[in-house]
Amino acid sequence: MAYQTLVLEQRGEHVLLVRLNRPEVLNALNTQMGRELLELWTRLAAEPGQLRCVVLTGAGERAFCAGADLKERDGMSPADWQAQHELFERGFMAMMEFPLPLVAALNGHAFGGGLEIALCCDFIYAAAGARFALPEVRLGIMPGGGGTQNLARAVGERRAKELILTGRQFTAEEGHAWGLFNEVSGMTDAVETAEAIAGNAPLAVRQAKKSIHYGLQTDVLTGYRFEIEAYNRLVDTDDRREGVRAFNEKRKPAFRGK
């Protein structure tokens, strides 16, 4: 499918690279990009085909995403602003519910909604020298793309309050030290990680992701019960049988997602 604000690139059979593609405005999130991101996540969740992992990055070398396009928003009526934001909300929720592993490769700066997009991913690689912030309180609003929830879960309540209430910028190295970013590295590492994930049993990967994500929303024993339910769905699968057979035959397994 052709997009105006996104570029899709297949990396092998099982990995898709998605680029936010408005480099002339630092990949700022406008209505069209919000519409296309929602369509993409919804379509891939329903019909992933042979895909097993997605890497999300930005076009150009300066920014992953500068946040919402404030030039487009200038002069918007409250009703139009809220209608646009509802579109964005649906996109953020689609990312957080996305069944495939989603890796963010922050090629440059990420502010506001741009950082919130990254926070909706399963984990994040951030480029050295890039800077990040949730500066919405400086504009008279607040994070509205899951930022107050996802940042606090990543770095803890106190650090999240400091960053959101001051709106200050921080570095990739700081984010890594706080546990927000997995590594300070580039696209190569992100794609290699995606390829490593894609080489594993896809049903097992999806069930494990779901167990971690939803288990953390509840107490440990309820989470463990969810884990066992997810585990038991894998016992009677061709991939489980192939994995054990390949181990005993000392060869690489050929997983089919069945």
**Active site positions, annotated:** 116, 136
Angle at 222 between CA 218 and CA 224, to 5 degrees: 110
Give the C-alpha separation, 30 to 215, whole Å.
33
Place of tokens 């700081």: 174
Residue type, 126: A
| Three-state DSSP state, 64 | strand
* Per-residue DSSP letter, 12: T
Which residue, 16, 32, 216, is CA-closest to 105? 16
Residue type, 148: T
Which residue, 239, 88, 257, 118, is CA-closest to 180? 118
Place of tokens 């936010």: 20
Contact 93, 117 (CB under 8 A): no
Distances (CA, A) of 150 to 58, 139, 164, 240: 20, 21, 12, 33
Helix axes 220-235, 202-215, angle to 10 degrees: 170
